Amino acid sequence: MALHFTVLGDPGRDNAVFVRVDSGQRVDRLLFDCGEGCLASLSVAEVQAIDHVFFSHLHMDHVSGFDSLFRVTYDRTARPNHIWGPPGTRQIIQHRFQGFLWNLHHDAASFWDVHDIYPAHVEASRYYANQAFAEAHLLRAQPRRSAIIIDTPEYSVQAFQMEHLAPSMAYLVREKPRLNIDTSKLAGLGLRPGGWLQALKTPQPGEAPTIEIEGKAYPLADLRADLLTETPGQSLAYLTDFIMNEQAQERLSSALQGCATIICESQYRQADSDLAARNYHMTAAQVAEMARRANAQRLILFHLSDRYTKAEWGDLLAEARAIFPNTAFPDGWLR
């Protein structure tokens, strides 16, 4: 398993984050927000392979690049088309679906599922290309018993509703823990690798208590205790456009505890904290304090305000590093 990310867009401009979750058997591609020009650095093939699009909220600088994605995927049937966002996402995205003239759509085969994430449930509607996306077909609402909105054998995605004078979603991607074989202990038991190792790593309902290896029966429970080691999966948080008050600090530092990488907006210097509060954004120092409390491994600052000069961006980074030393901008941003 591996989790790779790329921050899209330039400093002081619209940004997004592209994530690839590689299990070794398949690759899932996740896009967080889609500002203007953000997809320019991705190949068309990568854009066409995006599995899920997640919007923090639907302000122009986070959604204005969606047309570029939709242009190359609107009739995609090779994989499901999923969009996620705060309440109101379905209405706004349907308007974008219908912002074009559709006159050769009757034989189109695709459909798009758009999900509004509420604190206690998820509402979704399906839109068909052969109907020119004109009708919203309401799907069954799904209750939320936890922060998780997507749960696969390889990874999960959690969503947290934050406050930006309107709902704004924070997201957390976590790989599932990986089971590995301790090869030194394997040799110590006098066993050779084989297809039986996969059965050892993937318990099945109703399986026998023993497994046969080269004509000899071994207790499964004992082999698992002796040979399997669990490695935690990687994790990545995407945070942007909400107020980082004490309530948000406490909530996120708990939810993101031990997170490997936090990618977070950095709109304001600490001297402008009053302005940050009025606009329901956050300062670099507030972000760094949250990362410190969460015991994160690293913090990446993005979505920088163009109110500051390039030199002042460096000062902003220094303010964060004074609290959380392992803080950086995306590669190449201050060159």
CB atoms closer than 10 angstroms to residue 317: 20
Tokens at residue 189, please? 């038991």
Residue with tokens 């907006």: 265
Long-range CB contacts (within 8 A, 24+) of 41-47:
41/6, 41/8, 42/8, 42/18, 44/72, 46/18, 47/72, 47/73
Tokens at residue 78, please? 């090779």
Q: Strands 148-151 and 137-138, how do they pair?
A: unpaired
User: Is the dihedral angle over the CA atoms 181, 182, 187, 189 positive or is it negative?
Assistant: negative
How far apart CA 19 and CA 167 sit, in angstroms, is 23
CA 308 to the chain's CA centroid:
28
How far apart CA 20 and CA 29 sit, in angstroms, is 5
- Give the active site residues: 61
Helix, strand, coil shares of the chain as percentages rounded to 5? 30, 30, 40
What SS3 state is found at 18? strand
Tokens at residue 48, please? 């066409």
Tokens at residue 237, please? 């948080």
DSSP state of 12: T
* Residue at 322: amino acid letter: A
Q: Identify whether the C-beta of residue 265 lies closer than 8 Å to the C-beta of residue 308.
A: no
Q: Identify whether the C-beta of residue 90 lies closer than 8 Å to the C-beta of residue 123.
A: yes
Widest pairwise Cα distance in the chain: 73
